[in-house]
Amino acid sequence: MQSTDLVSSFAEIAREKEIDRDRLQLIVEDVFRAMIRKRYGSDEAFEIILNPDHGDIQILHVREVVEDYDLEDPVTQIELKDALLIDEDVEPEDDVAEEISLKMFGRRAVAMARHNLRQRIRDIEKENIFEEYSDRIGEIVVGEVYQHRRREVLVMHNRVELILPREEQIPRDRYRKGDMLRAIVKEVRRDPGSNVHVIISRSDPQLMERLFELEVPEIDEGDVEIKRILREPGARAKVAVISHDDRIDPVGACVGLKGNRIHAVVRELSNENIDVLEWADDPYMLIRRALSPASPVSVALNDDLDPPRAKAVVRADEVSQAIGKGGINIRLASRMSGYEIDVYREIPADEEDIEIGEFDDEFSQGTLQKLKDIGCDTAKAVLELSIDELIRRSGLETEVAQHVIHVIKLEFDLEEEEEDEFAEEEIGV
């Protein structure tokens, strides 16, 4: 068996696997020395000469020439009569080198050497991948979707397999083989078998941050800083920014002329709704801005609670905006500010209304809390919602929601309107 059959071409391996040639030479030498030690017990009397450009390997057995019949160690010594067959000019105490054919080691040993070589190369590849992508955590990579599994999408990037788990995907994204995908390197880890897994993400806030850096020169140059990003991927996000240059409007810089900058980010993130607001260290101002698109009439803070709470009063026509679909806007605003925010409808001075808590003899505490959670802190606030909207936003059972509206309308002497509404609902059903 030829040495070239075992190693193929050093230059080709080093190029394809992106392994340093000198490092590959050391590995190959280690593999052959292990094979030698297994056969001879020691590798001290052997030299391995490598030609990395052609993949040639020459193994030389170097022994000291001794007088005939004075041989003590056949691994390190050779009798004169045998040495003369190799080099007719040698004399006792000279060293003589004899080339060893791989055939002398046997097929099994050579096969094991080939296996060890391949394993060592794979280990280096894994280590290179681990180091390269560990250095790229937080960076954007662009790869091609090549396989879609039930719980993950596999993406090829520079011949390296990246994993996009379901929990790191944007829910509304759809992936097809061959699609180009942009994501952020989130984590690089090894499993018990030493395999390297590169985890990428499209739901991580850092992806949005990197996209803004690409689209907004003021952020890339450090004139505008992103203080905080909060996302519910695919649905809504809030980005708080601050300017380090009095001449630059941080929100305007991120939005761009006619929204061109932010629209580029929105398109990349499957039309995720992004609110950009100016950061404030004062929690009062931060809450007011974080509740956008609603504009609170007043905000009252209670720092004695854990976590601290805030009461935001908004106009009646902005309650739904402050809360957002499914409560998403108020959740993001609460996370942005660090305060649990309760939204209350503004009650005009001339409007008769009743605090929802006064119905504790009619409704359970659980029902009252669900009403408060969606901003219905008064009876009139409940009546502003249709029965379907009340059910959808509060999560109340249909019968409970109907009972709530019925009781409140009775309180305001609206029995006829209540009966008409129920009749309309029956017709709709």
Q: What is the mean pLDDT of residues 341-364?
A: 82
| Same domain assignment for residues 215 and 290 | no
Q: What are 353's strand-pairing partners?
A: none
CA triple 275-280-281, angle to 5 deg: 140
Are 400 and 367 in contact by the 8 Å Cβ rule? The answer is: yes
| Same domain assignment for residues 9 and 37 | yes
Q: Answer whether residue 161 is part of any domain.
A: yes
Q: What is the mean pLDDT of residues 241-257?
A: 95
Note the pLDDT of residue 172.
84
| Same domain assignment for residues 24 and 101 | yes
Q: Answer whether residue 128 is part of any domain.
A: no
> CA-CA distance, 195 to 172, in Å (whole number)?
31
Q: What is the mean pLDDT of residues 370-388?
A: 84
Whether residue 39 is predicted with pLDDT greater than 80 in this model: the reply is yes
Domain of residue 67, CATH code: 3.30.1480.10
Note the pLDDT of residue 14.
64
Whether residue 349 is predicted with pLDDT greater than 50 in this model: the reply is yes
Amino acid present at 254: C
| Same domain assignment for residues 237 and 289 | no
Q: What is the mean pLDDT of residues 238-247?
A: 96
Domain of residue 355, CATH code: 1.10.150
3-state SS assignment for residue 193? coil
Domain of residue 339, CATH code: 3.30.300.20
| Same domain assignment for residues 319 and 410 | no
Are 278 and 266 in contact by the 8 Å Cβ rule? The answer is: no
Note the pLDDT of residue 55.
62
Point out the least confidently predicted range of 300-304, 341-345, 347-351, 381-385. Answer: 347-351
| Same domain assignment for residues 260 and 341 | no
Whether residue 238 is predicted with pLDDT greater than 90 in this model: the reply is yes
Domain of residue 174, CATH code: 2.40.50.140
DSSP 219: H
pLDDT digits (tens, 9 = 90+) for 148-200: 888 899 999 998 999 999 999 999 888 899 999 999 999 999 988 778 999 99
How many structural domains are present in the chain? 5
pLDDT digits (tens, 9 = 90+) for 6-15: 555 555 666 6
Higher pLDDT, 345 or 10: 345
| Same domain assignment for residues 172 and 263 | no
Whether residue 425 is predicted with pLDDT greater than 60 in this model: the reply is no
> CA-CA distance, 48 to 61, in Å (whole number)?
9
Q: Answer whether residue 8 is part of any domain.
A: yes
Note the pLDDT of residue 399.
92
| Same domain assignment for residues 321 and 381 | no
Point out the least confidently predicted range of 100-104, 274-278, 296-300, 345-349. Answer: 345-349
> In this prediction, what percent of the chain has a pLDDT beyond 90?
52
| Same domain assignment for residues 197 and 237 | no
Q: Answer whether residue 419 is part of any domain.
A: yes
| Same domain assignment for residues 77 and 12 | yes
User: Domain of 324?
Assistant: 280-346
Note the pLDDT of residue 15.
67
Whether residue 277 is predicted with pLDDT greater than 60 in this model: the reply is yes
Q: Answer whether residue 127 is part of any domain.
A: no
Q: Answer whether residue 130 is part of any domain.
A: no
| Same domain assignment for residues 289 and 385 | no
Domain boundary among 203, 224, 250: 203
Domain boundary among 297, 326, 346: 346
Note the pLDDT of residue 114.
80
Note the pLDDT of residue 6.
58
> In this prediction, what percent of the chain has a pLDDT beyond 70?
90
Among residues 138, 279, 113, 152, the alpha carbon closest in space to that of 209 is found at 138
Phi, psi of 262 (to 5 degrees): -70, -30
CA neighbours closer than 13 Å in the CB half-sphere of residue 374:
23
Whether residue 422 is predicted with pLDDT greater than 60 in this model: the reply is no
| DSSP code string of 106-120 | HHHHHHHHHHHHHHH
| Same domain assignment for residues 184 and 100 | no
Q: Which residues contact 260 (CB under 8 A, 6 or more apart)?
A: none
Domain boundary among 230, 253, 279: 279
Note the pLDDT of residue 429.
28
Higher pLDDT, 52 or 343: 343
Q: Answer whether residue 129 is part of any domain.
A: no
Q: Answer whether residue 217 is part of any domain.
A: yes
Note the pLDDT of residue 28.
82
Q: What is the mean pLDDT of residues 93-111?
A: 85
What burial letters (b/e) apply to 38-74, b meaning 16+ CB within 10 Å?
A: eebeebebbebebebeebebebebebebbeeeeeeee
Whether residue 69 is predicted with pLDDT greater than 80 in this model: the reply is yes
